[in-house]
Amino acid sequence: MNPGQHKPELHRPLALDRVGARGIEITVEATPEECAAVAKRLLVVGIPALRCAFALTRVAGGIIEAQGHLQARVLRTCVVSLDEFEAAADERFSLRFVPAGTESDDPDPESEDEVPYTGDFLDLGEAAVEQLALALDPYPRKPDAELPAAEAEAPEHPFATLASLRRPN
């Protein structure tokens, strides 16, 4: 780890040489302490559970293709009621681990995500946290939360009171 680089909250290194042509399946499951650290990083109330399964396959040029399934329970704060509630994240995803410096500059949001790596290890824990961050609703809303009804009448003009004080000519 370089100076100034943060220590990952969920660190699960995997040696590249473990990923053969036939591939490998690995599951990352966070401990309660790791869940608490990830919750702090992602600015959520809490994370009772976080699990991510990866199916990894080696392709040419040091690229590792990954198919994943993220499952998590996350405590959120409702943007409408400010109540805490539990939300589930259940996402399937695809990504590619690529040697650092070989990332494509394709701006297409539909293209497969690329995660750069250096050295001889992939960090599947960090990849799981990044997928959870992508899966979180930026405006979490408790299922039964309702917006307050809008006023039916138009608001009074701010100078209406002053107009009533006007002297007749």
**131-143, pLDDT tens digit by residue?**
999 999 999 999 8
Domain presence at residue 165: no
Distance from C-alpha of 92 to C-alpha of 158, rounded to nearest angstrom:
53
Domain presence at residue 152: no
pLDDT average, residue stretch 152-156: 61
Residue 155 has pLDDT above 80, yes or no: no
Of all residues in the chain, what percent carry a pLDDT higher than 90? Answer: 65
Domain presence at residue 22: yes
Q: What pLDDT, on the 0 to 100 scale, is given for residue 1? A: 46
Contact criterion met (CB below 8 Å) for 123 and 117: yes
Of all residues in the chain, what percent carry a pLDDT higher than 70? Answer: 85
Q: Residue 86 pairs with which residues in a beta bridge?
A: 75
* Number of structural domains in the chain: 1
Domain presence at residue 114: yes
Between 39-53, 63-77, 137-151, the lowest mean confidence (pLDDT) is in 137-151
Contact criterion met (CB below 8 Å) for 74 and 86: yes
Contact criterion met (CB below 8 Å) for 15 and 121: yes
Domain presence at residue 167: no
> Which residue segment(s) compose the domain that 54 sits in?
13-146
Domain presence at residue 166: no
**In whole angstroms, how far apart are CA 40 and each of 60, 75, 76, 83, 136?**
37, 12, 12, 18, 14
Residue 101 has pLDDT above 50, yes or no: yes
Average pLDDT in the chain: 88
Contact criterion met (CB below 8 Å) for 12 and 28: yes
Domain presence at residue 156: no
Between 43-47, 59-63, 94-98, the lowest mean confidence (pLDDT) is in 59-63
**Length of the chain as a residue count:** 169
* pTM as predicted: 0.80
Domain presence at residue 7: no
